[in-house]
Amino acid sequence: MAIAARFNLELKQYNAVNAFVNAILDEEMFIRMAPRYREPGKIYQLNKALYGLRRSPLLWQKELTSTLTKLGFKAVPHELCCILKSGIILFFYVDNIVVTYKKSHQLEADSVMNQLRAKYKISGGGDLEWFLVSTQPDVAFTISRLSRFLLNPRPKYHQAADKVLCYLKRHRAYTLRLGGGEDYSVLTDASFADNTLNYKSSQVYIMTLFGGTIGCKQEYQKFLNQIRVEDTNSYLTPQQKDMENPDIEELLSLNDVPNNL
């Protein structure tokens, strides 16, 4: 999204209808039919993934990635749902597919979607209006804390939830701003022993690209002495760098931004 805002790219949204059933199962699996359709002594073998199976999302991701790879796309390391092909960026989340490109690449983008439609049932194709991402990082940590008490919401938790609602109403004009910068940065901060339940410290880091927020994580620290860390390299473990920090340099180099966009 930040790249699209920076380089003034087109954003088109599509939906893969019944996405999971396009994936072939990679193991033997048997089911019984619903009560009104059962036949005595019979069970049925599944050939394709179904909604509700634990492996279905992964199988669909592999299926769609395999198809796009055959069309000439290349996946971004550590961002397997973001896939690139000279001037076209395609990313997907479950059955939502977003294609972004410069207006000059309109014919290539249309060709890609026509090839996908030949194999899958694809709907949509209009301008991007919404996408399943977190757009309120300022209240994400608070909501996560309050959600622990849904089964037994005491009055003080209701009061805390009311404060969140008042905050959202007071700042309802706040939005995530994309574009307006030229750099990639990571900002970090921490608060010492602010958890009144276990006295752990909390920490947060926010990643911005071209002036727009592209990632945010808030969590409790595993070690109490991790406070006020300014050096990102010493703050993030190698695992966090790989899993949480998007491979921005790889993304930009694979797509030759801005030369090919």
Question: For residues 2 and 91, what is the distance between their CA atoms, to the nearest angstrom?
Answer: 13
Q: 164 vs 256, which has greater pLDDT?
A: 164
The answer to which of 8-17, 43-52, 85-94, 213-222 has the lowest mean pLDDT is 213-222
Q: Does domain 2-130 match CATH 3.90.1720?
A: no
Please report, for residues 86, 130, 181, 199, 208, the alpha-carbon distance to residue 6 in angstroms, rounded to integers and kept in the order given.
17, 19, 8, 42, 12
Q: Which of 128-132, 158-162, 173-177, 181-185 has the lowest mean pLDDT?
A: 128-132
Report percent pLDDT > 90 for the chain: 25
Q: What is the pLDDT of residue 254?
A: 45
Query: Would you state the pLDDT for residue 240?
Result: 47
- 56-78 mean pLDDT: 90
What count of other Cβ atoms lies within 10 Å of the Cβ of residue 100?
A: 22
- pLDDT for 191 equals 76
Q: What is the pLDDT of residue 86?
A: 83
Domain boundaries, the chain: 2-130, 137-252
Residue 183 reports pLDDT greater than 50: yes
For residues 13, 16, 20, 25, the Cα torsion angle rounded to the nearest 10 degrees is: -110
Alpha helix positions (H), the chain? 2-6, 56-70, 106-119, 137-146, 155-170, 232-235, 238-244, 248-254
Query: What angle in degrees, to the nearest 10, is found between the helix axes of 155-170 and 137-146?
Result: 170
Phi, psi of 159 (to 5 degrees): -65, -40
Residue 106: what are its φ and ψ, rounded to 5°? -60, -45
Region label for 127, one of left (φ > 0), alpha (ψ between -120 and 50) or beta (otherwise): beta
| 175: pLDDT strictly greater than 80 | no
